[in-house]
Structure 1
Amino acid sequence: MRETLKGVQDIFDERGPTDATETFARLWSITQEIMVKIEARFELTRDPSTENLESYRGEAEYPAGRLAGYSGPEMDWLVHSWIGNPPLGFTNMHVTAWLGPHISVPHLGIAWGTLPDLWFYIDFNPRSDLMVDTEALDRYWGPLNEEFLELRADEGLAPFTSKALYVRQALSEVAICFTTPGRTHDEARLNQVSELAHRRVDRWLQWVDEAETVPLERRERLAADDLTRRRNIAERDPANVMGERFFGPEMTDRLVRALWGGDRILPRPN
Protein backbone atom coordinates (compact mmCIF):
# COMPACT_ATOMS: atom_id res chain seq x y z
CA MET A 1 0.00 0.00 0.00
CA ARG A 2 1.28 3.47 -0.82
CA GLU A 3 2.45 5.63 2.05
CA THR A 4 0.23 8.30 3.55
CA LEU A 5 1.61 11.77 2.83
CA LYS A 6 -1.41 13.87 3.81
CA GLY A 7 -1.60 15.79 7.06
CA VAL A 8 -3.87 14.73 9.90
CA GLN A 9 -6.27 17.62 9.31
CA ASP A 10 -6.41 16.89 5.57
CA ILE A 11 -7.38 13.25 6.13
CA PHE A 12 -10.00 14.25 8.70
CA ASP A 13 -11.53 16.89 6.43
CA GLU A 14 -11.61 14.64 3.37
CA ARG A 15 -13.26 11.73 5.16
CA GLY A 16 -15.93 13.84 6.82
CA PRO A 17 -17.84 12.86 9.98
CA THR A 18 -17.29 9.14 10.63
CA ASP A 19 -18.12 7.56 13.97
CA ALA A 20 -14.93 6.07 15.49
CA THR A 21 -16.26 5.57 19.01
CA GLU A 22 -15.74 1.81 18.99
CA THR A 23 -12.13 2.05 17.82
CA PHE A 24 -11.43 4.83 20.31
CA ALA A 25 -12.71 2.69 23.19
CA ARG A 26 -10.51 -0.24 22.17
CA LEU A 27 -7.39 1.88 21.76
CA TRP A 28 -7.94 3.66 25.07
CA SER A 29 -8.30 0.30 26.83
CA ILE A 30 -4.89 -0.75 25.44
CA THR A 31 -3.30 2.43 26.84
CA GLN A 32 -4.78 1.58 30.22
CA GLU A 33 -3.28 -1.92 30.06
CA ILE A 34 0.11 -0.41 29.31
CA MET A 35 -0.23 2.05 32.17
CA VAL A 36 -0.88 -0.84 34.56
CA LYS A 37 2.49 -2.33 33.57
CA ILE A 38 4.32 0.98 33.91
CA GLU A 39 2.73 1.83 37.26
CA ALA A 40 3.72 -1.61 38.59
CA ARG A 41 7.38 -0.87 37.78
CA PHE A 42 7.78 2.81 38.68
CA GLU A 43 6.96 4.96 41.68
CA LEU A 44 4.79 7.68 40.13
CA THR A 45 3.04 10.78 41.45
CA ARG A 46 0.58 12.80 39.41
CA ASP A 47 1.79 16.34 38.93
CA PRO A 48 -0.70 18.84 40.41
CA SER A 49 -0.44 20.97 37.27
CA THR A 50 -2.44 18.35 35.36
CA GLU A 51 -5.11 17.57 37.92
CA ASN A 52 -7.61 20.03 36.43
CA LEU A 53 -7.03 18.42 33.03
CA GLU A 54 -8.53 15.15 34.25
CA SER A 55 -11.60 15.95 32.19
CA TYR A 56 -12.05 18.89 29.86
CA ARG A 57 -14.52 19.53 27.08
CA GLY A 58 -16.02 22.12 24.80
CA GLU A 59 -19.56 23.36 24.99
CA ALA A 60 -21.09 19.89 24.44
CA GLU A 61 -20.15 16.32 25.38
CA TYR A 62 -17.55 16.34 22.60
CA PRO A 63 -14.92 17.45 21.79
CA ALA A 64 -13.29 16.44 25.03
CA GLY A 65 -10.14 15.04 26.52
CA ARG A 66 -8.08 13.99 29.50
CA LEU A 67 -4.39 14.57 30.27
CA ALA A 68 -2.45 13.26 33.25
CA GLY A 69 1.26 13.92 33.80
CA TYR A 70 3.35 11.94 36.27
CA SER A 71 6.89 11.95 37.59
CA GLY A 72 8.92 10.02 40.13
CA PRO A 73 12.41 9.10 41.28
CA GLU A 74 13.13 7.30 37.99
CA MET A 75 10.61 8.99 35.72
CA ASP A 76 11.10 12.54 34.51
CA TRP A 77 7.72 12.94 32.83
CA LEU A 78 5.03 10.45 31.82
CA VAL A 79 1.87 11.43 29.97
CA HIS A 80 -1.32 9.39 29.66
CA SER A 81 -3.85 11.31 27.63
CA TRP A 82 -6.55 11.46 25.00
CA ILE A 83 -8.13 14.25 23.01
CA GLY A 84 -10.73 14.28 20.30
CA ASN A 85 -14.25 13.89 19.10
CA PRO A 86 -14.93 10.15 18.65
CA PRO A 87 -18.38 10.51 17.04
CA LEU A 88 -16.87 12.74 14.34
CA GLY A 89 -13.86 10.49 13.81
CA PHE A 90 -10.80 12.24 15.28
CA THR A 91 -9.06 10.96 18.42
CA ASN A 92 -5.47 10.97 19.65
CA MET A 93 -4.05 9.06 22.63
CA HIS A 94 -0.63 9.09 24.29
CA VAL A 95 1.48 7.01 26.61
CA THR A 96 4.85 8.73 26.53
CA ALA A 97 7.45 7.93 29.18
CA TRP A 98 10.58 10.05 29.59
CA LEU A 99 13.07 8.49 31.97
CA GLY A 100 15.26 10.28 34.46
CA PRO A 101 18.98 10.84 33.74
CA HIS A 102 20.11 8.05 36.07
CA ILE A 103 20.09 5.66 33.08
CA SER A 104 20.45 6.22 29.34
CA VAL A 105 17.81 3.74 28.19
CA PRO A 106 15.69 5.15 25.32
CA HIS A 107 12.39 6.79 26.17
CA LEU A 108 9.08 5.14 25.29
CA GLY A 109 6.78 6.80 22.77
CA ILE A 110 3.27 5.56 22.02
CA ALA A 111 0.59 7.56 20.24
CA TRP A 112 -2.40 6.39 18.24
CA GLY A 113 -5.95 7.21 17.39
CA THR A 114 -8.42 7.71 14.56
CA LEU A 115 -8.36 10.16 11.64
CA PRO A 116 -11.00 8.43 11.32
CA ASP A 117 -8.64 5.83 9.78
CA LEU A 118 -6.76 3.85 12.40
CA TRP A 119 -3.34 5.43 12.96
CA PHE A 120 -0.64 4.16 15.32
CA TYR A 121 2.91 5.04 16.36
CA ILE A 122 5.22 3.07 18.67
CA ASP A 123 8.90 3.93 19.06
CA PHE A 124 11.87 4.27 21.36
CA ASN A 125 13.24 7.81 21.46
CA PRO A 126 17.06 7.88 21.39
CA ARG A 127 19.15 9.85 23.85
CA SER A 128 22.31 10.00 21.78
CA ASP A 129 23.46 10.45 18.20
CA LEU A 130 22.98 6.96 16.78
CA MET A 131 25.29 7.69 13.84
CA VAL A 132 28.04 7.87 16.46
CA ASP A 133 26.67 5.75 19.30
CA THR A 134 26.47 2.52 17.31
CA GLU A 135 26.59 0.49 20.51
CA ALA A 136 23.19 1.88 21.53
CA LEU A 137 21.90 1.51 17.96
CA ASP A 138 22.78 -2.19 17.85
CA ARG A 139 21.60 -2.89 21.37
CA TYR A 140 18.22 -1.20 21.39
CA TRP A 141 17.09 -0.76 17.80
CA GLY A 142 18.96 -3.51 15.97
CA PRO A 143 16.77 -6.39 17.26
CA LEU A 144 13.65 -4.57 15.96
CA ASN A 145 14.82 -4.22 12.38
CA GLU A 146 13.31 -7.45 11.03
CA GLU A 147 9.94 -6.74 12.61
CA PHE A 148 9.98 -3.25 11.09
CA LEU A 149 10.70 -4.64 7.62
CA GLU A 150 7.89 -7.17 7.95
CA LEU A 151 5.44 -4.40 8.84
CA ARG A 152 6.59 -2.29 5.89
CA ALA A 153 5.88 -5.28 3.63
CA ASP A 154 2.32 -5.60 4.96
CA GLU A 155 0.08 -4.42 2.11
CA GLY A 156 -2.72 -3.57 4.52
CA LEU A 157 -0.62 -0.93 6.29
CA ALA A 158 0.25 2.44 4.80
CA PRO A 159 3.43 4.03 6.22
CA PHE A 160 2.52 7.44 7.65
CA THR A 161 5.07 9.99 6.49
CA SER A 162 4.69 13.39 8.07
CA LYS A 163 5.12 16.49 5.95
CA ALA A 164 6.92 18.07 8.91
CA LEU A 165 10.69 17.69 8.71
CA TYR A 166 11.14 17.71 12.48
CA VAL A 167 8.60 14.94 13.01
CA ARG A 168 10.45 12.73 10.52
CA GLN A 169 13.72 13.57 12.24
CA ALA A 170 12.26 12.56 15.61
CA LEU A 171 11.38 9.01 14.48
CA SER A 172 13.87 6.19 14.76
CA GLU A 173 14.56 4.01 11.74
CA VAL A 174 12.44 1.20 13.20
CA ALA A 175 9.52 3.36 14.34
CA ILE A 176 6.10 1.78 13.90
CA CYS A 177 4.07 4.55 12.24
CA PHE A 178 1.20 3.43 10.01
CA THR A 179 -2.37 4.09 8.99
CA THR A 180 -5.02 1.70 7.72
CA PRO A 181 -6.75 3.82 5.07
CA GLY A 182 -10.49 3.37 4.76
CA ARG A 183 -10.85 1.33 7.96
CA THR A 184 -12.37 2.87 11.06
CA HIS A 185 -12.54 -0.41 12.98
CA ASP A 186 -10.64 -3.60 12.24
CA GLU A 187 -10.44 -5.98 15.18
CA ALA A 188 -7.55 -7.94 13.70
CA ARG A 189 -5.51 -4.76 13.26
CA LEU A 190 -6.36 -3.57 16.74
CA ASN A 191 -5.19 -6.90 18.14
CA GLN A 192 -1.98 -6.48 16.17
CA VAL A 193 -1.48 -2.99 17.60
CA SER A 194 -2.03 -4.33 21.11
CA GLU A 195 0.46 -7.15 20.62
CA LEU A 196 3.09 -4.83 19.15
CA ALA A 197 2.68 -2.31 21.94
CA HIS A 198 2.79 -4.84 24.77
CA ARG A 199 5.80 -6.56 23.25
CA ARG A 200 7.73 -3.32 22.95
CA VAL A 201 6.73 -2.12 26.43
CA ASP A 202 7.86 -5.42 27.94
CA ARG A 203 11.18 -5.09 26.13
CA TRP A 204 11.56 -1.51 27.34
CA LEU A 205 10.84 -2.45 30.95
CA GLN A 206 13.49 -5.15 30.74
CA TRP A 207 15.99 -2.61 29.46
CA VAL A 208 15.18 -0.37 32.42
CA ASP A 209 15.75 -3.22 34.87
CA GLU A 210 19.06 -4.15 33.27
CA ALA A 211 20.39 -0.61 32.75
CA GLU A 212 23.72 0.60 34.04
CA THR A 213 23.82 3.77 36.12
CA VAL A 214 24.84 6.99 34.38
CA PRO A 215 27.77 8.76 36.11
CA LEU A 216 26.71 11.84 38.07
CA GLU A 217 28.77 14.21 35.94
CA ARG A 218 26.79 13.23 32.79
CA ARG A 219 23.30 13.53 34.22
CA GLU A 220 22.79 17.28 34.00
CA ARG A 221 23.57 17.33 30.27
CA LEU A 222 21.38 14.29 29.62
CA ALA A 223 18.45 15.83 31.52
CA ALA A 224 18.79 19.09 29.60
CA ASP A 225 18.86 17.30 26.24
CA ASP A 226 15.82 15.21 27.20
CA LEU A 227 13.81 18.32 28.06
CA THR A 228 14.75 19.98 24.77
CA ARG A 229 13.71 16.91 22.79
CA ARG A 230 10.42 16.59 24.67
CA ARG A 231 9.53 20.25 24.26
CA ASN A 232 10.39 20.29 20.56
CA ILE A 233 8.28 17.20 19.88
CA ALA A 234 5.27 18.68 21.69
CA GLU A 235 5.50 22.17 20.25
CA ARG A 236 6.35 21.23 16.67
CA ASP A 237 3.69 18.55 16.26
CA PRO A 238 1.63 19.59 13.20
CA ALA A 239 -1.40 17.80 14.67
CA ASN A 240 -1.65 20.59 17.26
CA VAL A 241 -3.83 22.32 14.68
CA MET A 242 -6.60 19.88 15.57
CA GLY A 243 -6.45 21.01 19.20
CA GLU A 244 -6.80 24.61 18.08
CA ARG A 245 -9.76 23.66 15.92
CA PHE A 246 -11.57 21.97 18.79
CA PHE A 247 -10.53 24.10 21.79
CA GLY A 248 -8.87 27.27 20.52
CA PRO A 249 -5.24 28.42 20.73
CA GLU A 250 -5.18 29.27 24.45
CA MET A 251 -6.32 25.83 25.60
CA THR A 252 -4.12 24.13 23.01
CA ASP A 253 -1.07 26.00 24.30
CA ARG A 254 -1.88 24.77 27.79
CA LEU A 255 -2.23 21.18 26.62
CA VAL A 256 1.03 21.35 24.69
CA ARG A 257 2.83 22.67 27.78
CA ALA A 258 1.39 19.78 29.77
CA LEU A 259 2.75 17.31 27.23
CA TRP A 260 6.31 18.47 27.87
CA GLY A 261 5.89 19.47 31.51
CA GLY A 262 6.09 23.22 31.04
CA ASP A 263 3.85 23.94 34.04
CA ARG A 264 5.05 21.10 36.22
CA ILE A 265 5.18 21.57 39.98
CA LEU A 266 6.98 18.42 41.10
CA PRO A 267 10.79 18.55 40.76
CA ARG A 268 12.63 16.69 38.05
CA PRO A 269 14.54 13.60 39.24
CA ASN A 270 18.29 13.96 39.81
Structure 2
Amino acid sequence: MSTDTKTIDQFLTENPDVDVSKAWERSFGILTDIKNRIAERFSELELDPDCEGREYYTSPNGEFEGSMQAWSGKGIEWLVNSWIGNRKASILDMNATAFLGQETDVPHFVMVFGTIPKLFFYFDLIPRSDIRTDEEYLDKYYGGEANTDFLELRGHPNFQWSVSHGQYMRALLSPSAISMSAELTDENMDVLEDFAYRFLNRWLGWLDNAQPVPAEKRTELQRYDHKVRELGYRLDPMNKLAAQVFGEDQVETMIDVRMGKAQMEKNKTY
Protein backbone atom coordinates (compact mmCIF):
# COMPACT_ATOMS: atom_id res chain seq x y z
CA MET A 1 0.00 0.00 0.00
CA SER A 2 1.18 3.52 -0.79
CA THR A 3 2.27 5.51 2.25
CA ASP A 4 -0.23 8.17 1.13
CA THR A 5 -3.17 5.96 2.14
CA LYS A 6 -1.75 3.87 4.98
CA THR A 7 -3.78 4.03 8.17
CA ILE A 8 -2.31 5.10 11.49
CA ASP A 9 -2.81 1.54 12.73
CA GLN A 10 -0.67 0.21 9.87
CA PHE A 11 2.16 2.65 10.58
CA LEU A 12 2.07 1.79 14.28
CA THR A 13 2.00 -1.96 13.63
CA GLU A 14 5.24 -1.63 11.67
CA ASN A 15 7.02 0.36 14.41
CA PRO A 16 5.06 0.09 17.67
CA ASP A 17 7.68 0.84 20.33
CA VAL A 18 9.68 3.87 19.21
CA ASP A 19 10.55 6.40 21.91
CA VAL A 20 9.32 9.74 20.53
CA SER A 21 9.91 11.79 23.69
CA LYS A 22 12.39 14.09 21.97
CA ALA A 23 9.92 14.77 19.15
CA TRP A 24 7.20 15.52 21.72
CA GLU A 25 9.43 18.00 23.52
CA ARG A 26 10.24 19.96 20.36
CA SER A 27 6.86 19.72 18.62
CA PHE A 28 4.73 20.50 21.65
CA GLY A 29 7.12 23.30 22.55
CA ILE A 30 6.48 24.91 19.15
CA LEU A 31 2.72 24.47 19.47
CA THR A 32 2.66 25.87 23.01
CA ASP A 33 4.62 28.93 21.91
CA ILE A 34 2.22 29.41 19.00
CA LYS A 35 -0.75 29.11 21.36
CA ASN A 36 0.83 31.71 23.64
CA ARG A 37 1.39 34.12 20.74
CA ILE A 38 -2.24 33.76 19.74
CA ALA A 39 -3.39 34.25 23.34
CA GLU A 40 -1.49 37.55 23.53
CA ARG A 41 -3.87 38.99 20.91
CA PHE A 42 -6.98 38.40 23.01
CA SER A 43 -8.17 39.65 26.38
CA GLU A 44 -10.05 38.10 29.28
CA LEU A 45 -9.07 34.53 28.40
CA GLU A 46 -10.40 31.97 30.86
CA LEU A 47 -9.62 28.26 31.13
CA ASP A 48 -12.71 26.24 30.31
CA PRO A 49 -14.15 24.57 33.45
CA ASP A 50 -14.23 21.17 31.72
CA CYS A 51 -10.44 21.38 31.30
CA GLU A 52 -9.68 21.86 34.98
CA GLY A 53 -7.62 18.94 36.25
CA ARG A 54 -6.71 17.89 32.70
CA GLU A 55 -3.27 19.54 32.63
CA TYR A 56 -2.00 15.96 32.62
CA TYR A 57 -3.98 12.72 32.58
CA THR A 58 -3.47 9.03 31.82
CA SER A 59 -5.70 6.22 30.63
CA PRO A 60 -6.80 3.65 33.23
CA ASN A 61 -4.22 1.15 31.98
CA GLY A 62 -1.47 3.77 31.72
CA GLU A 63 -1.08 3.16 27.99
CA PHE A 64 -2.02 6.70 26.94
CA GLU A 65 -1.25 10.07 28.49
CA GLY A 66 -2.01 13.62 27.55
CA SER A 67 -3.12 17.14 28.35
CA MET A 68 -6.26 19.05 27.37
CA GLN A 69 -6.34 22.80 27.94
CA ALA A 70 -8.71 25.24 26.21
CA TRP A 71 -9.54 28.89 26.80
CA SER A 72 -12.26 31.30 25.71
CA GLY A 73 -12.31 35.07 25.67
CA LYS A 74 -13.31 38.18 23.81
CA GLY A 75 -12.90 37.53 20.09
CA ILE A 76 -11.98 33.86 20.44
CA GLU A 77 -14.37 31.04 21.31
CA TRP A 78 -12.02 28.09 21.66
CA LEU A 79 -8.21 28.27 21.92
CA VAL A 80 -6.76 24.79 22.42
CA ASN A 81 -3.34 23.47 23.37
CA SER A 82 -3.45 19.71 23.83
CA TRP A 83 -1.75 16.40 23.24
CA ILE A 84 -2.50 12.71 23.60
CA GLY A 85 -0.50 9.55 22.96
CA ASN A 86 2.37 7.50 24.34
CA ARG A 87 5.83 9.04 24.23
CA LYS A 88 7.47 5.62 24.65
CA ALA A 89 5.38 3.82 22.05
CA SER A 90 5.41 5.76 18.77
CA ILE A 91 2.05 7.58 18.88
CA LEU A 92 1.46 11.29 19.50
CA ASP A 93 -1.22 13.77 18.47
CA MET A 94 -0.42 17.40 19.47
CA ASN A 95 -2.23 20.56 18.48
CA ALA A 96 -2.75 24.29 18.73
CA THR A 97 -6.17 25.34 17.47
CA ALA A 98 -8.01 28.66 17.46
CA PHE A 99 -11.72 28.92 16.68
CA LEU A 100 -12.47 32.61 16.49
CA GLY A 101 -15.54 34.56 17.50
CA GLN A 102 -17.87 35.99 14.89
CA GLU A 103 -16.53 39.56 15.03
CA THR A 104 -14.46 38.87 11.89
CA ASP A 105 -14.44 36.36 9.03
CA VAL A 106 -10.74 35.43 9.40
CA PRO A 107 -10.35 31.63 8.96
CA HIS A 108 -10.02 29.42 12.02
CA PHE A 109 -6.48 28.22 12.73
CA VAL A 110 -5.50 24.54 13.03
CA MET A 111 -1.99 23.21 13.58
CA VAL A 112 -1.24 19.58 14.40
CA PHE A 113 2.01 17.71 14.85
CA GLY A 114 2.04 13.96 15.36
CA THR A 115 4.21 10.86 15.31
CA ILE A 116 3.15 7.43 14.02
CA PRO A 117 6.23 7.14 14.59
CA LYS A 118 6.99 8.92 11.32
CA LEU A 119 6.51 12.65 11.57
CA PHE A 120 2.97 13.69 10.71
CA PHE A 121 1.63 17.22 10.43
CA TYR A 122 -1.63 18.90 9.49
CA PHE A 123 -1.90 22.68 9.11
CA ASP A 124 -5.11 24.30 7.91
CA LEU A 125 -7.18 27.48 7.80
CA ILE A 126 -10.88 26.64 8.06
CA PRO A 127 -12.87 29.02 5.85
CA ARG A 128 -15.85 30.97 7.20
CA SER A 129 -17.46 31.33 3.79
CA ASP A 130 -18.23 29.01 0.88
CA ILE A 131 -15.02 29.37 -1.10
CA ARG A 132 -16.56 27.54 -4.05
CA THR A 133 -18.65 30.65 -4.71
CA ASP A 134 -17.01 33.45 -2.69
CA GLU A 135 -14.12 34.38 -4.97
CA GLU A 136 -13.18 37.46 -2.93
CA TYR A 137 -12.79 35.40 0.26
CA LEU A 138 -10.82 32.73 -1.60
CA ASP A 139 -8.36 35.24 -3.04
CA LYS A 140 -8.02 37.15 0.22
CA TYR A 141 -7.10 34.21 2.47
CA TYR A 142 -5.92 31.45 0.14
CA GLY A 143 -4.23 33.27 -2.72
CA GLY A 144 -0.98 35.15 -3.05
CA GLU A 145 1.70 34.33 -0.48
CA ALA A 146 -0.45 31.67 1.20
CA ASN A 147 -0.76 29.80 -2.09
CA THR A 148 2.96 30.18 -2.85
CA ASP A 149 3.98 28.79 0.54
CA PHE A 150 1.55 25.88 0.18
CA LEU A 151 2.98 24.88 -3.17
CA GLU A 152 6.56 25.19 -1.91
CA LEU A 153 6.00 22.81 1.01
CA ARG A 154 3.72 20.50 -0.98
CA GLY A 155 6.55 20.05 -3.48
CA HIS A 156 9.31 19.48 -0.92
CA PRO A 157 11.01 16.14 -1.68
CA ASN A 158 11.27 15.15 2.02
CA PHE A 159 7.51 15.08 2.55
CA GLN A 160 4.75 12.76 1.35
CA TRP A 161 1.07 13.61 1.09
CA SER A 162 -1.10 11.90 3.72
CA VAL A 163 -4.75 11.16 3.01
CA SER A 164 -7.28 10.78 5.82
CA HIS A 165 -9.52 7.72 5.65
CA GLY A 166 -12.32 9.87 7.03
CA GLN A 167 -14.34 11.47 4.25
CA TYR A 168 -15.40 14.39 6.43
CA MET A 169 -11.79 15.18 7.25
CA ARG A 170 -11.06 15.31 3.52
CA ALA A 171 -14.12 17.51 2.97
CA LEU A 172 -12.82 19.88 5.64
CA LEU A 173 -9.53 20.58 3.85
CA SER A 174 -9.06 24.10 2.54
CA PRO A 175 -6.79 25.13 -0.36
CA SER A 176 -4.10 25.89 2.25
CA ALA A 177 -4.34 22.51 3.98
CA ILE A 178 -1.09 20.63 4.44
CA SER A 179 -1.50 17.00 5.50
CA MET A 180 1.85 15.24 5.12
CA SER A 181 4.31 12.80 6.67
CA ALA A 182 8.08 12.52 6.67
CA GLU A 183 10.97 10.86 8.42
CA LEU A 184 11.29 12.03 12.01
CA THR A 185 14.50 14.07 11.72
CA ASP A 186 15.73 17.42 12.99
CA GLU A 187 16.13 18.59 9.38
CA ASN A 188 12.47 18.00 8.63
CA MET A 189 11.40 19.61 11.89
CA ASP A 190 13.49 22.66 10.96
CA VAL A 191 11.56 23.00 7.69
CA LEU A 192 8.21 22.65 9.45
CA GLU A 193 9.09 25.04 12.26
CA ASP A 194 9.94 27.74 9.73
CA PHE A 195 6.72 27.09 7.82
CA ALA A 196 4.64 27.04 11.02
CA TYR A 197 5.74 30.50 12.10
CA ARG A 198 5.23 31.95 8.62
CA PHE A 199 1.77 30.39 8.67
CA LEU A 200 1.07 31.88 12.10
CA ASN A 201 2.41 35.36 11.35
CA ARG A 202 0.34 35.66 8.19
CA TRP A 203 -2.79 34.69 10.14
CA LEU A 204 -2.02 37.17 12.92
CA GLY A 205 -1.59 39.86 10.27
CA TRP A 206 -5.07 39.12 8.99
CA LEU A 207 -6.42 39.56 12.50
CA ASP A 208 -4.66 42.91 12.80
CA ASN A 209 -6.37 44.17 9.62
CA ALA A 210 -9.68 42.31 9.82
CA GLN A 211 -12.91 44.03 8.85
CA PRO A 212 -15.83 43.47 11.26
CA VAL A 213 -18.66 41.14 10.29
CA PRO A 214 -22.01 43.00 10.32
CA ALA A 215 -23.91 42.29 13.53
CA GLU A 216 -26.91 40.84 11.67
CA LYS A 217 -24.72 38.13 10.10
CA ARG A 218 -22.97 36.93 13.24
CA THR A 219 -25.61 34.52 14.52
CA GLU A 220 -25.65 32.51 11.30
CA LEU A 221 -21.86 32.54 11.19
CA GLN A 222 -21.76 31.16 14.73
CA ARG A 223 -24.17 28.38 13.77
CA TYR A 224 -21.85 27.42 10.91
CA ASP A 225 -18.71 27.69 13.10
CA HIS A 226 -20.17 25.46 15.79
CA LYS A 227 -21.27 22.78 13.35
CA VAL A 228 -17.85 22.65 11.68
CA ARG A 229 -16.18 22.52 15.09
CA GLU A 230 -18.42 19.70 16.30
CA LEU A 231 -18.05 17.53 13.20
CA GLY A 232 -14.30 18.06 12.98
CA TYR A 233 -13.81 16.60 16.44
CA ARG A 234 -16.55 13.98 16.40
CA LEU A 235 -15.62 12.47 13.01
CA ASP A 236 -11.84 12.44 13.53
CA PRO A 237 -10.57 8.90 12.72
CA MET A 238 -8.05 9.27 15.59
CA ASN A 239 -10.97 8.76 17.98
CA LYS A 240 -10.87 5.06 17.18
CA LEU A 241 -7.43 4.69 18.74
CA ALA A 242 -8.48 6.51 21.90
CA ALA A 243 -11.60 4.33 22.17
CA GLN A 244 -9.43 1.22 22.21
CA VAL A 245 -7.59 2.57 25.26
CA PHE A 246 -10.16 4.62 27.19
CA GLY A 247 -13.37 2.81 26.18
CA GLU A 248 -16.27 4.09 24.08
CA ASP A 249 -18.13 5.81 26.93
CA GLN A 250 -15.08 7.68 28.17
CA VAL A 251 -14.07 8.72 24.65
CA GLU A 252 -17.49 10.29 24.03
CA THR A 253 -16.93 12.46 27.09
CA MET A 254 -13.40 13.30 25.92
CA ILE A 255 -14.68 14.33 22.48
CA ASP A 256 -17.27 16.61 24.08
CA VAL A 257 -14.52 18.25 26.13
CA ARG A 258 -12.16 18.58 23.15
CA MET A 259 -14.78 20.30 20.99
CA GLY A 260 -16.01 22.47 23.87
CA LYS A 261 -19.59 21.23 23.69
CA ALA A 262 -20.57 22.95 26.93
CA GLN A 263 -18.94 26.20 25.83
CA MET A 264 -20.88 26.19 22.56
CA GLU A 265 -24.17 25.50 24.37
CA LYS A 266 -23.51 28.26 26.89
CA ASN A 267 -22.59 30.94 24.36
CA LYS A 268 -24.71 30.16 21.31
CA THR A 269 -26.98 32.88 19.99
CA TYR A 270 -29.01 30.75 17.56
Band of TM-score, shorter chain: over 0.9
Offset, 1:105: 0.6
The answer on 1:178 being equivalent to 2:177 is no
Give ranges in structure 1 of 5+ residues lacking alignment: none
Is the alpha carbon distance of 1:214 and 1:29 closer, same or farther for their aligned partners in structure 2, counting shifts above 3 Å? same
How many Å separate the matches in 1 of 2:93 and 2:140?
30
Is the alpha carbon distance of 1:174 and 1:3 closer, same or farther for their aligned partners in structure 2, counting shifts above 3 Å? farther
How many Å separate the matches in 2 of 1:21 and 1:61?
16
Q: Note if contact 1:159-1:178 (Cα within 8 Å) is conserved in structure 2.
A: yes
How many Å separate the matches in 2 of 1:266 and 1:41?
25
| 1:154 paired residue number | 156
- For normalisation by structure 1, the TM-score amounts to 0.93
CA root-mean-square deviation: 1.7
Q: Note if contact 1:5-1:163 (Cα within 8 Å) is conserved in structure 2.
A: yes
Offset, 1:3: 5.4
How many Å separate the matches in 1 of 2:254 and 2:8?
18
| 1:36 paired residue number | 36
**Which SS does the other structure have where 1:129 is aligned?**
coil
How many Å separate the matches in 2 of 1:5 and 1:61?
30
**Which SS does the other structure have where 2:261 is aligned?**
coil
| 1:65 paired residue number | 66
Deviations 1:102-129 (A, max 9, x none): 1111000111110111000111100111
Percent identity between the two aligned chains: 32
How many Å separate the matches in 2 of 1:265 and 1:238?
22
| 1:123 paired residue number | 124
**Which SS does the other structure have where 2:128 is aligned?**
coil
| 1:95 paired residue number | 96
Offset, 1:205: 1.0
Offset, 1:263: 2.8
Deviations 1:185-214 (A, max 9, x none): 311111211111111111111111111111
Q: Note if contact 1:76-1:269 (Cα within 8 Å) is conserved in structure 2.
A: no
> Equivalent residues in 2 for 1:20-35 (5 A)?
20-35=20-35
Structure 2 counterpart of 1:116, which letter? Answer: P
- For normalisation by structure 2, the TM-score amounts to 0.93
